[in-house]
Structure 1
Amino acid sequence: MTTLQTKDNMKLLKKPNVKLPLKLKMILLIGLLIIGMFSIMGVFLYYFFSHTLEDQLGERALSVAKSVAHIPELVDAFEHEDPASVIQPIVLPIQEATAAEFIVVGNTNEIRYAHPNPEKIGERMVGEDNAPALTAGQSYVSKALGSLGYSIRGKVPVVSEQGEIIGVVSVGYLIEDVQTVINNYSRELWYALLIMVALGMIGAVFIARYIKGVLFGLEPEEISHLLLQKETILQSTHEGIIAVNQDGLITLINTAAQKLLFKKEFPKKDVIGRAIQEVLPSSSLPEVLKTGKSQFDREVELNDTDTIFVNRVPIFYKNNLIGAVSTFRNKTEIDRLTKELTQVREYADALRAQTHEFSNKLYTILGLIQLEKKEEAVSFIQRENHIQLDWIDFLMEKVPDPMLNAILLGKLNQAMEQRVEMIIDPSSQLTSSLTERKRDILVTVLGNLLQNAIDATKLNDDKNNRLINIFFTDLGEEIIFEIEDSGPGVPEELTDQIFTLGFTTKAGSNRGIGLALTKQALNKIGGNVYLEEGELGGACFVITIPKDGEI
């Protein structure tokens, strides 16, 4: 992800301004959702109840009308001189028993023979909705405005024994009464819905509180901000990072890991969700998931040329193992830094030795002058100057390379400071040109071996026999260095272990690194280091480096 560090993204890295807390936002949103849903449900149920009740009353009115229309006495009354005197007494008890608002019976001319209001008997029926019953003989439910008001009506034709339509029966319920019943039901419905909304709001408060706790009290804007920060840091780091969940499936991989492991970048979706052993069969992350123990500074060879240092750490949440993460870095970079630090240390030691030795000599000269031993002071200065010039002249002639020249001169001064006699064989020479890589490695190797020789020689109880001999030559096809000291040497039973990382015969921690790194560095340029039996009684290390070819 190379576009993260743009101006727009850098603006996003500023802490977001949270206008409304998540808890309040969730309560409002869930509350609005609940209110909206129950409002829609309430409206639907209101119209559903209204329509259902009207249908039921219509069917009821139609059923009563059919029953009335088929009463034989009522049918026979149509042939009476005064039909109303017979029909009205028949209809009124039925109206009271069925709780109908009205039962009206009329002839084919829509003249009333029965009506709740006796004064309206003999008048024409109102509503203009009798035609289907009187002309087509249909039974149906209608809504119309009658003399008593707007009503739901059941219409049924009255048929004589000869099958002729002789009249119509109309049974009705006022819409106003129906609406009163609906309103009574609706009031209870809305009360129930309001209680459900209140319970929903209380639930919304608990849900918001729970989610807020799960998110560690962070707001969504803050989570987005942290996610962008994490992604920026993750992709900008030079260390490779791979994380897996408790099932060993890859959940995270950064760009540095892709370059180190696969030598290329690719869409992360190609590996996210896949098993780590499927992508990296040699990975030890499954072992970390199994044991729950960390692994630090493990050296892993990716191929013949690349080696990485790996740290693997389990991830725990509330004492539960939920995954593991692996971080790794190319060993070449670490080696380069180690070499640079070693060189700096060697130069610092050389300068410190020269400074200390020069300070001692200045005090010697000062003492001779104070004792008025001028001739001795001049002789001492000339002698020391002659020694330094001899060393410099010899090294300038035999070792033209300034880096090697400097390390040898520095160690000569350091040995002199520590009362160790260091002698370079007069027949030594190194005039071959070295590549930068070989020079850096040789400087590091010489610094380690000469320092070891000085330390070993100082262990010699005979202070008059603290000696180091150095010989080097570039005659032939290899550059050869021999460094021999008069120290206690290396026991024969340990000669096979001294080049093992971590093995040491010295006291103290952080030991056993120098010789191992020396051998590894020389192997990279085709060289080697051997331990031989020396003439001074101590250790004798032999270094060989091929002159031709860059490795």
Structure 2
Amino acid sequence: MWSSLARSSRSLAGQFLAFQVLVVGVVLIAVAAVSVAQSTKEFRDVRGQRMIAVAENVASTPVVRDRYADPFAARLLAPDVDRAVALSGAGLAELIDRTGVVRASSDPSRVGKTVGFGPSRVVEGRAWFGDLDIDGRHAMAGQVPILSSDGRVLSVVSVSEPYPSVWQLLSGAGERLLVYLGLGAALGLLASWLLSRRIKRHTRGLEVAEIAGLAEHREALLHSIREGVIGVNTDGVITVVNDSAQELLGIGPEVVNRPVRDAGIDPAVADFLVSGENGHDVVIATPTRVLALNRRAATSQGQRIGTVTTMRDSTELASMQGQLSSHKSVTDTLRAQTHEFANQLHTISGLVQLGEYDSVRDLVGALTRRRAEINAAVTQHISDSAVAALLIAKTTLAAESGVSLQLTDDSHLAALSPAMATDVITVLGNLIDNAVDVSEGTLASRVTVHIDDGDGLTIEVADSGPGVPQAQRSEIFSRGVTSKPDVPGGRGIGLALVRLITAQHGGTAEVRDAADGGALFVARLPRIKSVTHA
């Protein structure tokens, strides 16, 4: 029972009720202070004028003017000073000579005492009212001089009334304070009740400790997820980003509450985050990583509040896909060569059966020369055996698709280390595959390859396809969808992988218009160096 009472006393609604009561108390104290100040000012203004009026009335009384200096003035003038007190409600009325000696007083014990005039200038012949300390009490006093016919001050009439205590001032304003108290308490309780209902509705009945616990658990779970998670509201502002997302995007926790485009995120990823549409398995290549992103809309109480995007690092997966693509290309080349060799063997078999041995010799010689020409056209410019083999295989595969693949006469490539050769094969193979795909069925059906290792390594692949629109050139190397091989960019992840590899070697990948029409893809790898053989 006590635990439940303690829980209820610590509840959010209870805390707000206590706060409201505190506010009401502060308001009442402020009202009391204002009331006391106003009552004090009212007392000073009203009673001060009253005191000086009574003093003037006493000073103008003939008996007072005639007998003020009489040795028996205290007894003779007692009725007059008592009447002044009775009529005005003052506390004290006195007749004081110029030296400050009390000659007559409504308090007989003060007769003969010497008193001070304080800040009063009544001895100079001026009437005055203000604050004085009389027998240790703060009082409002009015003082009027009794003047001779020539203007000299003969004596002073002083009428005073002590200031009421704070409790007396508050008692005088009691009804007003009770009204304020009732209104304040009623408004405080009503506001507390409405506020507690609203809080319970928005917090689903959870208390402060429970909300804090949920927030801590949410943060712990969010930042322990291996996948990157980033939330963006409908205004394009980042609302949450976990540790994995910070690492994948190269950003810090300070990007929270900042617009996506001002957070230093790769432009292609930023465009995806603010597009607002659901996206599944979208692959975007940044300069250092290949990211697989999945975005879903986030709603609260039926209202859209933004999007939540998860992301995975698919760099290794993309590299493996590139290797698999290369193996598939080799397989396709072997299949094409098998088909070509089968046709040639059938032809030779037929000629042998017909006894056309001279024709067999001529055909074999022509085939040998053709193969030698293709090999020579490549190997005399390309010294790396792996890259040369790729070009020879791609030439045969392109020919099967009706596309002419040519290596320019000014191409040159020295031997590379195995690791470098693997990257070059991946870049070159993806660019050629993309060019062959778009050139197939065109009027020229041509792909031209230029390789130059004079300053780093530059690979240029021109095709006879329709070219790449200017609007797509900024993102063609960045974005691909693995489930649709016919996306812009031709082969989905292929061009993204080209950009990743070139960036890893400090290079760039770009596309522009080719001189003879179509597109020209240019990949630069400045950090690749050839291997010098002894």
One-letter amino acid of the counterpart of residue 260, structure 2: A
Q: Distance in 1 between matches of 2:324 and 2:482?
A: 23
Equivalent residues in 2 for 1:184-263, closer than 5 Å: 184-195=171-182, 196-262=184-250
Give % identity.
20
Paired letter, 1:268: P
For 1:24, the equivalent position in structure 2 comes to 14
Are 1:110 and 2:102 counterparts?
A: yes
CA-to-aligned-CA distance 1:95-132 (integer Å, 9 cap, x gap): 666444554445565332x85x9xx6xx8637753566
- Structure 1 position 248, deviation (Å): 0.9
Query: 1:299 touches 1:310 (CA, 8 Å); kept in 2?
Result: yes
Matched, 1:40 2:33: no
How far off its partner does 1:298 sit? 1.2
> Separation in 2 of the partners of 1:100 and 1:63?
11
Superposition deviation, residue 277 in structure 1: 6.2
Counterpart amino acid of residue 24 in structure 1: G
Q: State whether residues 289 and 314 of structure 2, in contact with CA within 8 Å, keep that contact through their aligned partners in structure 1.
A: yes
- Kept in 1, the 8 Å contact 2:32–2:170? The answer is no
Bigger Cα displacement from structure 2, 267-276 vs 98-107: 98-107
Number of matched residues?
358
Partner of 2:157: 169
Q: 1 CA distance for matches of 2:38 and 2:144? A: 26
The structure-2 alpha-carbon separation of the partners of 1:151 and 1:301, relative to structure 1 and needing over 3 Å to count, comes to: closer
Query: C-alpha separation between the residues in 2 aligned to 1:224 and 1:297?
Result: 35
CA RMSD of superposed structures (Å): 5.5
Could you say if the C-alpha distance between residues 127 and 284 of structure 1 is closer, same or farther in structure 2, counting changes exceeding 3 Å? farther
Distance of 2:97 and 2:24 partners within structure 1: 57
1:308 and 2:291 matched: yes
Q: In the alignment, residue 216 of structure 2 is paired with which amino acid?
A: L
TM-superposed CA distance for 1:63, in Å, is 1.9
Q: How far did 1:309 drift? A: 1.5
CA contact (8 A) 1:244 1:324 kept: yes
Q: Deviations over 1:274-308 (max 9, x none)?
A: 33366335346667756x531111122224x7322
- Does structure 1 conserve the Cα–Cα contact (< 8 Å) formed by 2:8 and 2:14? no
Q: Flag the 1:127–1:230 CA change in 2: closer, same or farther, 3 A.
A: farther
Of residues 112, 129, 132 in structure 1, which corresponds to 2:115? 129
Unmatched 5+ residue regions in structure 1?
A: 1-16, 340-436, 451-475, 483-489, 505-515, 526-548
Map 1:120-519 → 2, pairs under 5 A: 125=111, 128-129=114-115, 136-137=123-124, 139=128, 141-145=131-135, 152-173=140-161, 182-195=169-182, 196-262=184-250, 267-270=252-255, 272-276=257-261, 279-280=264-265, 282-283=267-268, 292-303=276-287, 306-332=289-315
CA–CA distance in 2 between the matches of 1:180 and 1:18?
Answer: 38
Q: After alignment, is 26-35 or 279-288 more displaced?
A: 279-288
**How far apart in 1 are the matches of 2:261 and 2:307?**
11
Matches of 2:330 and 2:493 in 1, distance apart?
A: 5
Q: In structure 1, how many angstroms separate the alpha carbons of the residues matched to 2:323 and 2:68?
A: 137
Structure 2 CA distance for partners of 1:228 and 1:441, relative to 1, 3 Å? farther
**Of 42, 66, 77, which residue of structure 1 is paired with 2:66?**
77
Separation in structure 2 between the aligned mates of residue 190 and residue 503 of structure 1, nearest angstrom: 78
- Matching residue's letter, 1:190: L
Question: How far does the alpha carbon of each residue in 1:380-421 deviate from its partner, in whole angstroms, 9 at most, with x for none?
Answer: xxxxxxxxxxxxxxxxxxxxxxxxxxxxxxxxxxxxxxxxxx
Q: 1:238 to 1:165 in 2, by over 3 A?
A: same
The CA deviation at 1:518 is: 12
1:151/1:25 Cα in 2 relative to 1: closer, same or farther (>3 Å)? closer
Q: Which amino acid aligns with 1:246?
A: T
Moved more, 83-92 or 39-48: 83-92
CA deviation map 1:490-527 (0-9, x unaligned): 999xx9699x96579xxxxxxxxxxx89999x9999xx
Cα separation, 1, equivalents of 2:112 and 2:47: 18
Change (3 A) 1:74 1:181: farther
Which amino acid in structure 1 is aligned with residue 307 of structure 2?
A: A
Q: Aligned equivalents of 1:289 and 1:440: distance in 2?
A: 32
Q: Whole-Å Cα distance in 2 between the matches of residues 184 and 519 of structure 1?
A: 90
Q: CA deviation at 1:91?
A: 6.8
C-alpha contact 2:36 2:170 (8 A) present in aligned 1: no
User: For residues 149-179 of structure 1, what are the alpha-carbon distances to aligned partners after superposition, in whole Å with 9 as ceiling and x for unaligned?
Assistant: 9965433332222333322212233557x77
Give distance in 1, aligned partners of 2:236 and 2:150. 92
Do the aligned partners of residues 247 and 124 (structure 1) sit closer, same or farther apart at CA in structure 2, a change above 3 Å counting? closer
Q: Distance in 2 between matches of 1:517 and 1:68?
A: 110
| Aligned partner of residue 111 in structure 2, secondary structure | coil
Go from structure 1 to structure 2 and tell me whether the alpha carbon gap of 1:55 and 1:126 turns closer, same or farther (over 3 Å shift).
farther
Counterpart of 2:264, as a letter, is: V
Q: Distance in 1 between matches of 2:329 and 2:144?
A: 118
> 5+ unaligned residues in a row in structure 2: which ranges?
1-6, 336-378, 380-384, 394-399, 403-435, 441-480, 486-490, 502-530
Q: Which residue of 2 aligns with 1:462?
A: none
- CA pair 321-281 structure 1, distance change in 2 beyond 3 A: farther
2:237/2:257 contact within 8 Å kept = yes
Structure 2 counterpart SS, 1:279: coil
The answer (yes or no) to whether the contact 1:248–1:286 under 8 Å persists in 2 is no
Q: Counterpart of 1:60?
A: 49
Q: Using a 3 Å threshold, how does the CA distance of structure 1 residues 57 and 180 change in structure 2: closer, same or farther? A: farther
Decide whether aligned partners of structure 1 residues 503 and 28 sit closer, same or farther in structure 2, where only a CA change above 3 A counts.
closer
Contact 2:296 2:309 in 1 (8 A): yes
Shift in CA distance, 310/48, structure 1 to aligned 2, threshold 3 Å = same
Counterparts of 1:192 and 1:319 in 2: how far apart (Å)? 46
Measure, in 2, the Cα distance between the counterparts of 1:153 and 1:101.
10
Distance 1:283 1:316, change over 3 A: farther
Specify the SS of the correspondent of 2:267. Answer: coil
Q: Do 2:59 and 2:144's aligned partners in 1 also have CA atoms closer than 8 Å?
A: no
State the TM-score, normalizing by the size of structure 2: 0.51
Query: Separation in 2 of the partners of 1:519 and 1:179?
Result: 89
1:452-477 CA deviation, whole Å, 9 max, x = no partner?
xxxxxxxxxxxxxxxxxxxxxxxx95
Say if 2:74 and 2:111, in contact at 8 Å, map to a contact too.
no
- In the alignment, what sits opposite 2:406? none
Once the two structures are TM-superposed, the CA of residue 40 in structure 1 deviates from its matched residue by 3.3
Inter-CA distance 126–84: structure 2 relative to 1 (3 Å threshold): closer
3-state SS of paired residue (1:30): helix
Give, as a single letter, the amino acid of the residue that structure 2 aligns with 1:23: A
**In structure 1, what residue type is equivalent to 2:178?**
Y
